[in-house]
Amino acid sequence: MNLRRLLPGLFDKMARKKHSAPEDGQPKGADKKNGTATHLLLGKEGEEAAAALLSRKGYAILDRNWRQARLELDIVCRDGDTIVFVEVKTRGSDSHGGPVHALGIAKQRTLCRAARAWLAAHKAWEQPCRFDVICALRNGSTLHLEHFCHAFDCPPALDSSHTSWQPW
């Protein structure tokens, strides 16, 4: 059964609605000055603030927004002799549980794969590692940061001979 033939005007109407912009010409949630989505600007602001916080605490920033294929690490830094993989979660409000609730098991597993890829790319398998999370929450014009050291552990890698010593 071909729905397009049965309801000819519906599909055209849905297509126009899907591709139409709001009255101001900007996509929903866009910054009118530069066309960037507001959630992306907020995320970038949170990552900048997190990097500044880590620097003030004496961490050495090694990488920011490191990518390999579909894997990404927000911040990779060094705390003494420990490599720290930092995930930054930024939210405009805590109406949906806030940033701390945005890091589920699936995301943790993805971060573990990304960390393994970073360690392999930098031949840093011998370094102790941990995962930190920095939650940034916008409250009016203020961005509140909370740093959770050693926020989670990774399960042992069954396919890698390099991680037997790691806590994950």
pLDDT, residue 46, reads 87
CB-count exposure of residue 85 (10 Å: 0-12, 13-18, 19+): buried
**43, pLDDT greater than 60:** yes
Is 14 part of any domain?
no
C-alpha separations of 46 from 97, 138, 162 in Å: 17, 9, 33
User: Would residue 59 count as lying in a domain?
Assistant: yes
Q: Does residue 26 sit within a domain?
A: no
**16 vs 145 pLDDT, higher one:** 145
Q: What is the DSSP string of 58-108?
A: TPEEEEEEEEETTEEEEEEEEETTEEEEEEEEEES-STTS-GGGG--HHHH
The verdict on residue 23 lying in a domain is no
Looking at the structure of the chain, the number of domains it has is: 1
- Determine, yes or no, domain membership for 100: yes
Which whole-number Å values give the CA distances from 146 to 31, 121, 133, 143, in the listed order? 26, 30, 8, 10
Q: Which band of pLDDT confidence, cut at 50, 70 and 90, is reported for residue 112?
A: very high
Nearest to 133, CA basis, from 86, 91, 101, 99: 86
Q: What is the pLDDT of residues 121-158, one digit of tens each?
A: 999 989 999 999 999 888 888 889 999 999 999 877 65
pLDDT-based confidence at residue 2 (cuts at 50, 70, 90):
very low
State which residues form the domain around 66.
37-152
The answer to the question of residue 86 being in a domain is yes
* CATH code: domain of residue 47: 3.40.1350.10
Any bridge partners for residue 134, and if so which?
Answer: 88, 147
Of 82, 18, 66, nearest to 74 (Cα)? 66
pLDDT digits (tens, 9 = 90+) for 50-102: 999 999 999 999 999 999 999 999 999 999 999 999 999 988 766 555 556 66
- The two structure tokens encoding residue 98: 């806030």
Please report whether residue 145 resides in a domain: yes
